[in-house]
């Protein structure tokens, strides 16, 4: 027992030491199984959140910004991630100090600028440019507006080339342009007239005014420093969100080393239902054919002549989440053509900024059912005879004839001279 303790205690101390080191997964809010894409996405979100430009005079935010960058660099490189997973923080640190390759030693602002451009800062620096906002329309099925859903979409985004880290150079080394000595402009002497010489500053044609030159162009971007490729964006459609609502993704528009990325504006619009759409209607619900108007839904139900006249019918309409709305009439209850029935609470959920919670119960709009009555084009002759007989019988009994039905007076009005005088 005593022997066991002497072995266990140092082991426990070691475990304690390991815990003190930063848990990079925890820093990024991920678990050990996280994919490369999740790591990237976590970095994108957290680095924007803790960026010192957004949190002035907040040293905690600054430390977090640095730490998030460190965690990303450690986990985004396959080799360094493996070392971290297997041997931990200290091993990784040791490797870095020995100058081990891959994923180390970047300035956190440098890393930030590789994602969002603009030299690692938000337009707070004077003269800093900001890229255009980009607007994309994302069609979403009605059931997603009803039930809420987290989905993904893709768009063709300009990103800073990862291969050359936005330098445009295969070796990632940028030199000062020799033609203009890095100034981007050249002074040219121009003779206006004999004896009259003026000096004009012109943009350097060797480097296009950037003051920088590279030896070998990056193969991935051809020296352009940016590449355009499909970017996958996660989209959360909240229950009851309005059709056509715009959601802004800060600094997620086209990126470039020359400016801070603008915002990606996503407009969520309702998709037309497809008749046999397995994709838009996997549960084969009737509700997919509801029409939406703000918080209300509209549905057209067809009744036969017999149903409209006699009652005694039911319908089960499967709603957008699969629950059934029962429509129907008792026998003897007539439904007039084009009658609109209000079914309270069977419309769309009303959007609420807090979503669903224990403090807030979702309210719903109404469902409006419009009844269409179809008359037969032609009747089976037997049926026609029977119906005729029934109506004849009732006509005879009630003394109703066509003439009376039409609402015209029974007899032509006779003009009476005596009456005229009154
Ligand atoms: Zn490149
Ligand atoms: Zn130049």
Task: Examine residue 215 and state whether it is found in any structural domain, yes or no.
Answer: no
Neighbouring residues of 281: CB distance < 8 A, sequence distance ≥ 6: 141, 143, 273, 274, 288
Residue 180 CA, ligand 2 centroid: distance in Å = 4
- DSSP-based helix, strand, coil % in the chain, nearest 5: 30, 25, 40
| Residue 91's CATH number | 1.10.287.110
Q: Which ligand is nearest to the CA of 166?
A: 1
Q: Which of 212, 293, 301, 297 is nearest to 257 (CA)?
A: 212
Residue 300 CA, ligand 2 centroid: distance in Å = 70
pLDDT tens for each residue of the chain, 422 residues long: 455 555 554 544 444 444 446 799 999 999 999 999 999 999 999 999 999 988 888 999 999 999 999 999 999 999 999 999 998 888 888 887 776 554 445 788 988 988 888 777 775 566 678 899 999 999 999 999 999 999 999 999 999 998 888 888 898 888 888 888 888 888 888 888 888 888 888 888 888 888 888 888 999 999 899 999 999 999 999 999 999 999 999 999 999 988 899 999 999 999 987 766 666 677 777 877 899 999 999 999 999 999 999 999 999 999 999 899 999 999 989 999 999 999 999 999 999 877 666 677 889 999 999 999 999 888 888 989 998 998 888 777 766 665 555 445 566 655 554 444 44
Same domain, 239 and 315: no
Same domain, 47 and 150: no
3-state secondary structure of 345: coil
Domain extent at residue 144: 129-160+225-278
Residue 13 CA, ligand 1 centroid: distance in Å = 47
Q: Give the Å distances, CA to CA, from 111 to 66, 116, 173.
A: 10, 9, 16
Same domain, 271 and 293: no
Burial environment of residue 210 by CB neighbours within 10 A (0 to 12, 13 to 18, 19 or more): middle
Same domain, 88 and 138: no
Q: Per the structure, how many domains does the chain have?
A: 3
Neighbouring residues of 153: CB distance < 8 A, sequence distance ≥ 6: 136, 138, 232, 233, 235, 266
Neighbouring residues of 158: CB distance < 8 A, sequence distance ≥ 6: 226, 227, 228, 254, 255, 256
Q: What is the pLDDT of residue 148?
A: 92
Same domain, 372 and 320: yes
Same domain, 302 and 404: yes
Residue 172 CA, ligand 1 centroid: distance in Å = 8
Q: What is the pLDDT of residue 404?
A: 55
| Residue 316's CATH number | 2.60.260.20
Same domain, 268 and 294: no
Q: Which ligand is nearest to the CA of 217?
A: 1
Residue 299 CA, ligand 2 centroid: distance in Å = 68
């Amino acid at each position: 027992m005593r022997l066991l303790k002497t072995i266990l205690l140092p082991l426990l101390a070691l475990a304690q030491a390991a815990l003190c080191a930063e848990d990079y997964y925890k820093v990024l809010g991920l678990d050990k199984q996280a994919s490369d894409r999740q790591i990237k996405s976590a970095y994108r979100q957290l680095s924007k959140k803790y960026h010192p430009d957004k949190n002035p005079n907040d040293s905690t935010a600054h430390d977090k910004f640095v730490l998030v960058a460190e965690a990303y660099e450690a986990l985004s490189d396959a080799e360094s991630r493996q070392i971290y997973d297997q041997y931990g923080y200290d091993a990784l640190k040791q490797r870095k100090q020995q100058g081990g390759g891959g994923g180390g030693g970047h300035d956190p602002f440098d890393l930030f600028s590789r994602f969002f451009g603009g030299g690692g800062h938000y337009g707070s620096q004077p003269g800093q440019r900001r890229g255009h906002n980009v607007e994309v329309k994302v069609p979403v099925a009605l059931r997603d507006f009803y039930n809420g859903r987290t989905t993904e979409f893709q768009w063709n985004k300009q990103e800073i080339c990862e291969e050359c880290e936005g330098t445009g150079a295969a070796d990632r080394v940028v030199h000062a342009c020799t033609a203009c000595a890095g100034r981007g402009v050249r002074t040219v002497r121009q003779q206006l007239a004999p004896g009259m010489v003026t000096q004009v500053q012109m943009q350097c044609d060797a480097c296009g005014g950037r003051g920088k030159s590279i030896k070998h162009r990056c193969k991935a971007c051809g020296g352009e420093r940016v590449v355009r490729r499909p970017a996958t964006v996660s989209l959360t459609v909240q229950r009851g969100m309005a059709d056509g609502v715009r959601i802004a993704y800060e600094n997620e528009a086209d990126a470039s080393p020359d400016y801070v990325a603008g915002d990606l504006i996503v407009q969520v619009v309702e998709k037309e239902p497809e008749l046999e759409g397995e994709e838009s209607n996997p549960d084969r619900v009737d509700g997919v054919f509801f029409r939406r108007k703000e918080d209300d839904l509209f549905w057209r139900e067809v009744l036969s002549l017999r149903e409209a006249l006699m009652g005694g019918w039911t319908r089960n309409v499967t709603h957008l989440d699969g629950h059934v709305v029962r429509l129907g009439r008792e026998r003897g209850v007539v439904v007039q053509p084009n009658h609109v029935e209000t079914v309270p609470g069977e419309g769309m959920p009303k959007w609420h900024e807090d979503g669903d919670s224990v403090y807030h119960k979702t309210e719903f709009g109404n469902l409006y059912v419009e009844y269409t009555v179809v008359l037969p084009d032609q009747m089976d002759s037997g049926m026609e005879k029977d119906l005729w007989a029934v109506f004849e019988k009732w006509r005879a009994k009630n003394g109703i004839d066509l003439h009376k039905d039409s609402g015209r007076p029974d007899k032509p009005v006779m003009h009476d001279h005596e009456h005229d005088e009154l």
